[in-house]
Amino acid sequence: MGSILSAEWYKLRKSKVVPIIFAGPMIGLFIGLSMNSNNILSDAEINEWYISLISMNLLYALLFLPLISGVFASLICRYEHQSGGWKQLLALPVTRGKVFVAKYALIMLLVLVMQILYLCSIYAVGLLKGYSDPFPMEIVWKSIFGGWLATLPLVALQLWLSIMFKSFAAPFAVNVVFTLPSILAVNSARFGPYYPWGQPFLMMNIGGNTGDVFFVPWEQLLTVVGGGFVLFFLGGYLYFQRKAV
């Protein structure tokens, strides 16, 4: 397993994945610095960081995170789709199951690295704007880690689609079709909690329910995120087992 992971990492290293990971913090800086936080909530007595966090997390988690996680999934299958790479990879003494798990684990690691870089960009925005309030570390970690968990099912589906289609555009199109409606879905108290593509936002939205460990109730996390993960991961896993290379 370790050698498959390192092989995947070597292939990925030359796939321009590093600039794409930095897209996360760049978007964070762009949103954080471009928004005009003085008008909203200027006289409210709350921690200054919250104002930045609310508007940064909105755009980042609603559209950027679900979409970019699909790009990682496509990138990790790029070498295999070029000139018979699947055949070469699967001719090695590896099982298809292990290849699938290794690819999935590496994408989740990339998303985690991007989330941590995004955390740094939140901190940088605060420093540049000269916030004097204490940094709400606990809340930020909850949001960063929660957002990462919420991408578990989305990445599984994207990996499935990326193995299925040769082009980048096809899995991305599916991702867009499901991600755009989450703009409406998260506004609905009735349907929002059940929409998997809306979960990154709900998990990162610091205004959510604070009674639980994350910003959404445990039942929702387990059923929607966990259930979606099991469904998409098994679907992709079984598809890859049967795929003709």
Partner 1 sequence: MIGKLLTSDFLKIKRKGLWFLTALGPIGVVAMQMVNYGLRKDYLLEQSEDDWGYYLLNVHSFTPLAIVLGIAILTSFMASIENETNAWKQLIALPVSKLTVYLSKFTVLAILLFMSSTILMLMTMAYGVFLDLGDSIPYAELAKFAYYPYFASLPILALQLWIASVCQNQGIPITVGIFGVIFAYSSYVLPDWMIWKWPSLMNHWDEPVINVMLGVGIGILLYIIGMIDFARRDVK
CA distance linking residue 2 with residue 201, whole number of Å: 33
CA distance 1 to 101: 9
Residue 41 binding partner 1, by CB under 8 A: no
Residue 60 and residue 200: Cα distance in Å, rounded? 9
**Amino acid present at 74:** S
Number of residues that bind partner 1 (CB under 8 A): 35
132-140, 141-149, 174-182, 235-243 -> range binding partner 1 (CB under 8 A): 174-182
Q: What are phi and psi of 210, to 5 degrees?
A: -105, 0
**Residues 40, 169, 213, 238: which binds partner 1 (CB under 8 A)?**
169
Q: Is residue 49 close enough to count as binding partner 1 by CB under 8 A?
A: no
Q: List, in order, residues 6 or more apart from 131 with CB less than 8 Å away.
A: 48, 49, 52
Q: Which is nearer to partner 1, 39 or 132 (CB)?
A: 39
> Minimal CA–CA distance to 204: which of 245, 145, 157, 164?
145
- Could you give the CA distance from residue 118 to residue 112 in angstroms, rounded to a whole number? 10
**Binding residues for partner 1 restricted to 61-100, rule: CB under 8 A:** 63-64, 67-68, 71, 74-75, 78, 81
Nearer to partner 1, 67 or 94 (CB): 67
Under rule CB under 8 A, residue 36 binds partner 1: yes
Nearest one of 104, 97, 98 to 76, comparing CA atoms = 104
CA distances from 56 to 22, 52, 147 (A): 16, 6, 13
Work out which of 4, 27, 140, 221 binds partner 1, going by CB under 8 A: 27
Work out which of 9, 123, 131, 168 binds partner 1, going by CB under 8 A: 168
Contacting partner 1 (CB under 8 A), which of 4, 25, 32, 35?
A: 35
- Which residues sit at the interface with partner 1, rule CB under 8 A? 15-17, 20, 23, 27, 30-31, 34-36, 59, 63-64, 67-68, 71, 74-75, 78, 81, 166-170, 172-173, 176-177, 180-181, 183-184, 188
